[in-house]
Amino acid sequence: AAQTDITVAVPNPSAITWAPMWAAVGEGYFEAEGLNVDVQAVDGSSQVLQAMSAGQAQIGAPGPGPVLGARARGLDVVFIYNLYPKSVFGLLVKADSGLAAPTDLKGKVIGVGTADGAEVSFARAILNDAGMQEGEDFTFLPVGDGGTAAVAFLRGDVDAYAGAVSDAAILANRGLELTEITPDEYLAYFGNGYAVLADYMAENPEVVEGFGRALVKGMRFISDPANEDAALDHMAAGNPSEGEDRGFAASLLAAATERMTPTDAYIEHGFGYQPPEHWQTWQDSLISSGDLEKPFDDLTAGYSNDMIEGWNAE
């Protein structure tokens, strides 16, 4: 069969973060669907969406916040697959800090990536619900991510960090043990997933169909502990330098797989399912932080669970 070339834009160059996709590449699931997938890493969700709107990428892996933002700006982009149903974010503290719950953060400094990123809404929601107000009971300090975030802990500039949980795994591997103190209900702040432009989906339904089906297969593949070795090989093919330290890669992969697996409450809907109430949570949060001016007339137009069942069918 003729192969269709598609480009997938992801917001960071890690392979493990997008493990199901790389497993699908490695196992030939995309090929079987007639897809020839080219993965490109840009800098952040906004650039993913920009690349999609420019037609440079057909499928992207943005976060839900930026997707709603882009929709508000008139880009008809649709979220089709919930890759991180348990959220990519976590509220992290140093393991030996003695801090155990959000309420312990009273009077503390919380590090965030940028002054106004999605993780800020996330952290603010947790702390507000714990009865604390920004400015009075806690402050945010933008510390960037990766190395600079680590620096913030090492210098003692922050007591907690709201950011990607994969960062915690990395820091742990480098000797900085962090624990997550995110209450379970905030897992509703699901993380990045796959999105396409509505136009594209309308014109190329079979591409989107095939992509999702292969993705779910990839997800199943990495979920099976028996496949760990093969999965790590596929990850290393996607990003060789990430795969050099195999033990480290294995721990990262395990952490990522855990976040990608839906909670028991939703597992029955299958991989990729986006609970409407979680979208509602996101919208509310974005409005309260001022990132969105007003609620959407039709929030459901921004996501689609239509194909989930088909993809998950054996």
Partner 1 sequence: MIEQSVTAARAQMPEYEGDTVWSEHEPLIDRIPRWVAMTGLFIAIVGIWYAVTALEIVSNIILPTPMETWSDIVFVGGNMVSGGYMLEALVTTTKTVLLAFGLAMAIGFSLGVLVGETKFGERAVMPYLVAIDTMPKVAFAPLFIAWLGFGIASKVALATFIATFPIVVSTAAGLYAASENERMLFKSIGASRMQTLVRLKLPTGLPYFFTGLKIAAVGVMAGAITGEFLGGGQGVGALIRVSASQLDTPRVFSLIIYLSFLGLALFLAVVWVQKTFVFWNKSDKPGGAA
Contacts of 275 (CB under 8 A, 6+ apart): 85, 188, 190, 266, 269
Site for partner 1 in 166-185 (CB under 8 A): 170-171, 173-176
Told to check if 155 binds partner 1 by CB under 8 A, we report yes
Please report whether residue 242 would count as binding partner 1 according to CB under 8 A.
Answer: yes
Q: Exposure of 28 by Cβ count < 10 A (0-12 exposed, 13-18 middle, 19+ buried)?
A: exposed
270 binds partner 1 (CB under 8 A): no
Mark the segment that binds partner 1 (CB under 8 A) among 28-36, 69-77, 223-231, 298-306.
69-77
Tokens found for residue 251 = 């721990």
Residue partners of 168: CB distance under 8 A and separation at least 6:
90, 92, 178, 180, 255
- Which of 73, 277, 298, 313 is the binder for partner 1 (CB under 8 A)? 73
CA dihedral 26, 31, 36, 42 (to 10 degrees): -30
7 three-class SS: strand
Closer residue to partner 1 in complex, CB, 120/307: 120
Tell me which of 45, 82, 304, 312 binds partner 1, using CB under 8 A: 45
Residue 241 touching partner 1 (CB under 8 A): yes
- Residue among 242 and 307 whose Cβ is closer to partner 1: 242
Alpha helices in 54-132 (DSSP H): 64-72, 118-129
Our finding on whether 78 is near partner 1 (CB under 8 A) is no
Binds partner 1 (CB under 8 A): choice among 2, 5, 98, 115: 115
Comparison of 38 and 129: residue with beta carbon closer to partner 1: 38
What CA–CA distances, in Å, run from 168 to 244, 245, 268, 305?
19, 17, 29, 31
User: Is residue 251 part of the contact set for partner 1 (CB under 8 A)?
Assistant: no
Strands in 150-229 per DSSP E: 160-164, 178-180, 194-197
Is 88 a binding residue for partner 1 by CB under 8 A? The answer is: no
Among 43, 177, 199, 206, binds partner 1 (CB under 8 A): 43
Q: Which residues bind partner 1 (CB under 8 A)?
A: 7, 9, 12-14, 38, 40-47, 49-51, 53-54, 56-57, 66, 69-70, 73-75, 114-117, 141-148, 150-152, 154-155, 157, 170-171, 173-176, 239-242, 248, 291
